[in-house]
Amino acid sequence: MQKTFEKLIERSDFKDGFYNKQTLPQKYYKFPLCNIKGDLYPKEKIELDNNKHKHSGPSFDQQNELGLDIHKSYDLSVITKERYKTLYDWMHSWHLKNPIGQIHNQQPGQAHTFHMDVINSYNNYIADPKDKKTKVKRVFVFLNDWTAGQVIMSGTKIITGWKKGDVFWFDWYHVPHGTANFSRTNRMMLQITGETTPAFEKLLL
């Protein structure tokens, strides 16, 4: 029986390249896309939503089918104006329309295995899969400097060596990705999802 990951990767233009261990073409990612000046690290106490934010659907299934608990892959905190006003205001002033965001903290020893995103969390804004494929963008913004042992892998591209404020963009629709932290310190980043704008497309160019 075909698992969820194998079903989802069928949509990817990079499927054969991924399985054949080919170099990921640069049209699928940009690192760093830019660097955000100033300290975005939350001044407020971070409230974890691991037990409140229940994963379901393909995101959950891809981990569960391997016998893994996605809630133990990383800690998350949903960004709201009431919780993190500075982060929320910055996010809404940046280059993505109707952004939604989460703080992701990956503790030493945690990992999130290769998966394909579906982004059902953005259905309130764009629900049609065809529109979502072209209009919805996702970036990671690193909240602290890289430490040896912290890894993000998009397709066959290994991402390391980031500086605080670096922004990483990848084509979520086509590129499988995973993360791991085998360092001795936490890896903190923002995950921001939103609708593309001319300003964002200019950054990509």
- 95's tokens: 């280059």
pLDDT tens figures, 169-191: 999 999 999 999 999 999 999 99
pLDDT tens figures, 70-123: 889 999 999 999 999 999 999 999 999 999 999 999 999 999 999 999 999 999
CB atoms within 10 A of CB 121: 15
Phi first, then psi: give them for residue 200, nearest 5 degrees. -70, -40
In the chain, DSSP finds a helix count (H) and a strand count (E) of: 6, 10
Range of the domain at 81: 4-204
Burial of 153 (0-12, 13-18, 19+ CB in 10 A): middle
Count how many domains the chain has.
Answer: 1
pTM: 0.95
Give the CATH number, domain containing residue 42. 2.60.120.10
**pLDDT above 80: residue 12:** yes
**Greatest pairwise CA separation for the chain in angstroms:** 49
